[in-house]
Structure formats: C-alpha cells, structure tokens
Amino acid sequence: MLKRLDPRDINITPFKVYKEFTVTNVDSGSGVYGFRAISSSARNFDPDTATKTTFDSASFYHMPTWFLINKMYYKDTENNFNNFGYSTSRQYRLLQPSASIISVSKDLFGERIKPSSITLTDDSGASTLTIKDDGKGNLYDNDNSSSFAEFSVGGFSNSDIIKSTGSFVGNIFYEQGLLVFTNTGSKYIDIGTKTGNDGYSLKYKAQHTIREHSYTCVIGENEFNGTTNISTTPSRSGSISISGSVAWKYFPPGDALYQSGSYREQYNAASEYRGFVTHSEFRPYVTKVGLYNDFNELVAVGQLSHPVKNEDSIQLAINVRFDA
C-alpha cells in the first residue's frame, strides 16, 4: 500500500533559528580561546622558545597567529573578495603589529555568530569595558558609541581614524567565530587574555538553519481501501509466519495470544478477512501516515490526532510536517 508523492506536493522551507550563549575566560580550553597575536621576524623560528598561550587542549603561537590572520583577513583590504570573513565596505580593517584574539569553536556557534548579537564584558583594564558589534563586522566600545557612529558615517576613511579614538576596537568574523581586537590602546590591549577577576564574559547568539518539511499525501478515490489491521482477521493473526521453539520471543509479553500459548511453537499469517470487511459499506480509518525513501526505508511517521474515515468517493489529503 505505497504511493509515490507528486513533487508538487513536497515543500521544504528553510528558516533560521538562534540560541543565546554566554562564555567566559573560565571556558578557555573548552572551545573558547583568548590569546595574543604579535608580529615579528619569522627567521629562525623556534617552537621551543617562541611565545605562545597554552590551554589544556591547544597551544597558540603568537607570531604565526599574527601572520595567519593578516593573510586571511587584513593583507589585501582594497579587494575584499580576496579576504576571508565579512566582505563589505562597511567593515573597517586595520591590523596593528599586535592584536588580541578570542576564538570561539564552531561547535559553540553553528553556522555563524548572529550579527549584532555580540556583547563582551571585559575587566582586564582599570575599568570594565562593554564591547559590542555593529552587525557589519566591527567591534566598538559601547561607552563611546557616538564617536564610533561618526567614524562609521564617514565611511571608515583612514583619514577619519582620529574620530574613532576610544571607540573602534576591532573586528568580528561571524562565519569563523573570531573576534580580533586591533586597537592597541592601553584600555584594549589585553582584552580576552586575562583570567580571574580580570577575565571576560562573551554573550552572543549562534545561528542554525532548520528546514520545515511539508508533504501533502493525497489518497484518491477508491485508493487505500484495504487494511492491515490484525483486528480484521480471524484469531487476530498478523501478516507474517514464524515457527520454532522460540517463536514466542518475537511477540510482546502480556498479549492475549501469548497468554493462551497459541503461538509458542508456530504463528501463521492470516489468509482471509473476517466477514464484515467484505461488506460494501466497509471503510477503513486512517490513523497514521508513513513516509518512505526511494529505498523503501521508513523515514518518518505522521500520527493523526484522531482517526479519519477514508471514503471511496472523495479524495483525502493529509499534510505531514516536521522539522529537520
């Protein structure tokens, strides 16, 4: 009793969902890492003596990290398509000889960090900082948001960088979960790198795409008028045959047949229906709809809220929906 669905009756609609996370420096080594990136000569680089930040699960060398982020995000700012991350003229990128970085594992943000959802509270300096993102990949000091707005309105021109003093802090690359603090002022230079009472708290929203699957299953006139319900067969026999001394193991304890012992050695499939099934007014009721793939594997079951009579003179359409 299978029927292939018309492709026009299948609709898959994606929609984005968000979940808010809060991580701190205490989570360092468990998917969140705060460390420095420092430019210097790569000549005779020695991993045994090079400066690095070490966590229980990973180590980050400061000098190679600087060259990595410079190559990936900052080296060719005139041609945004040559860089990774948020390619837009509304993101200002200027990497200084040193930077602080907070890296969030993909396991903690899904597809990307939602733009405009960043709030970083940092206590590494003399006063508590509140850093936010503008939704375009820029990080700014919320206490000086007016000067950042002036810098932004001017198109992030290098000649207007003086307007951003004390406001523009760095960049957020949403798809990679990477916060880069490029402002080397004394207020910002240690963001994300200290612990304890000088640590940080990062709040953001992770993005994930869920797809709503909708399948309209149409039962035409005179279709699916049979039934496989064992209540329609003599002795309530099903559609399989099993024999042997352990046949009883295939059936649930407490079943009436089990109690009578009628299939301890053998269980025979029904070969006929009870009389009422052959009546001209017999109509089965639909209680469940199963969806199968092209390999006849059951992948989803739709449970109706109540049985629906399948009249043979009209079409019956059942819509099955689920998210995946």
Per the structure block, which two tokens stand in for 176? 């990679």
Assess whether 185 and 258 both reside in one domain: no
Q: N- to C-terminal Cα distance for the chain?
A: 26
What's the pLDDT tens digit per position in 223-276? 888 777 777 877 666 656 666 666 666 666 555 444 444 444 555 667 777 878
Inside any domain, residue 318: no
Q: What is the DSSP string of 50-76?
A: S-EEE-SS-EEEHHHHHHHHIIIIITT
The structural domain count of the chain equals: 2
Interval 41-68: pLDDT, tens = 888 888 888 999 988 878 899 999 999 9
pLDDT tens-place string over residues 3-50? 899 999 999 999 999 999 999 988 877 889 999 999 988 888 888 889
Answer whether residue 191 shows pLDDT above 60.
Answer: yes
109-146: per-residue pLDDT in tens? Answer: 999 999 999 999 999 888 899 999 999 999 999 998 88
For residue 191, give the nearest of 299, 300, 118, 272 by alpha carbon: 118
Q: Is the pLDDT of residue 277 over 50?
A: yes
Domain limits at 240?
233-275
Kindly state the helix (H) or strand (E) to which residue 89 belongs, with its residue range.
Answer: none
Mean pLDDT within 293-305: 90
Domain assignment of residue 54, yes or no = yes
- Are 93 and 135 within one domain? yes
Residues 71, 192, single domain; the answer is yes
The span from the CA of 124 to the CA of 196, in Å, is: 9
> Looking at residue 26, what is its pLDDT?
87
Confidence at residue 240, expressed as pLDDT on a 0 to 100 scale: 60
Residue 181 confidence (pLDDT): 95
Shared domain for 70 and 105, answered yes or no, is: yes
Strands (DSSP E) contained in the chain are: 10-24, 32-38, 52-54, 59-61, 98-104, 112-113, 119-122, 129-133, 138-141, 168-173, 178-181, 200-219, 242-243, 266-267, 285-292, 298-309, 316-323
- What is the structure's pLDDT at 256? 45
Sign of torsion, CA 235 240 241 246?
A: negative
Residues 257 and 116 in one domain: no
Which of 178, 210, 242 is the last residue in one of the domains? 210
DSSP annotation of 300: E
pLDDT in tens, 78-112: 655 556 665 567 888 888 999 999 999 999 999 99
In a domain, 320, yes or no: no
Q: Write down the pTM of the prediction.
A: 0.73
Residue 228 domain-assigned (yes or no): no
pLDDT of res. 248? 61
Q: Are strands 119-122 and 200-219 parallel, antiparallel or unpaired?
A: antiparallel
- What pLDDT score was predicted for residue 131? 96
Q: Is the domain of 59 the same as that of 185?
A: yes
- Note whether 192 and 88 are same-domain residues: yes
Give the angle subtended at the CA of 91 by the CAs of 88 and 93, to the nearest 5°: 120
Report yes or no on 139 lying in a domain.
yes
CB atoms within 10 A of CB 76: 12
Cβ neighbours, 10 Å, residue 201: 15
What percent of the chain has a predicted confidence (pLDDT) above 90? 44
In angstroms, the CA 168 to CA 185 distance is 11
Note whether residue 157 is domain-resident: yes
Over the stretch 153-190, which tens digit does the pLDDT of each residue have?
777 766 666 666 678 999 999 999 999 999 988 888 88
Give a yes or no: residue 295 inside a domain.
no
Mean pLDDT over 197-214 rounds to 94
Query: What pLDDT score was predicted for residue 235?
Result: 67
Question: Using CA atoms, how far apart are residues 130 and 111, in angstroms rounded to an integer?
Answer: 25
Query: Do 204 and 240 reside in the same domain of the chain?
Result: no
Domain assignment present for residue 191? The answer is yes
